[in-house]
Structure 1
Amino acid sequence: MSKLQELADRVERLLLRHQEQQRTHALLQQQLAAVTQERDQLRSRLNTARQRIDTLLERLPAEARDAGDGGGA
């Protein structure tokens, strides 16, 4: 095989490898976007849950005072 043909074969293999890596990169970008979106949704749910818990905790002392005042009179 001539040197030129060997070089052409090598270039062809490199092009194929490059295309494969581009496809892999695109898939990884899609996965990253999906995971990032899922993370953001989970953070939002966590913040909502924290707010609900904070609201409940704020109500607890007031309810305890109300129950204590009404029971002794």
Structure 2
Amino acid sequence: MKYLLLFLPLLLIAGSPFETLNVKDMDLSVYETKKSEQNLQASKNIKVTCRLVCDKKVYQEQKISDAIEFYKKINSNSD
């Protein structure tokens, strides 16, 4: 009886209706994008990719500093 109780969940999980589909069964046309010549050149340009990474870092740092200032204001008002 103990073994039956131990293996029953495994059998239920093995036959789950929520199994992932194979890539062959999925329609991937949604993820296909048309890239123009300008986009291809920009993606190959090191300066553009560096700028994109730097902008993301600056944006994240700004959001963090805004959050810190917000919590400082909350803590100063609660004291």
Alignment TM-score, normalising by the size of structure 1: 0.48
TM-score by length of 2: 0.44
Taking CA–CA contacts closer than 8 Å with sequence separation of 6 or more, which of the two structures ends up with the larger relative contact order? 2
Max Rg structure: 1
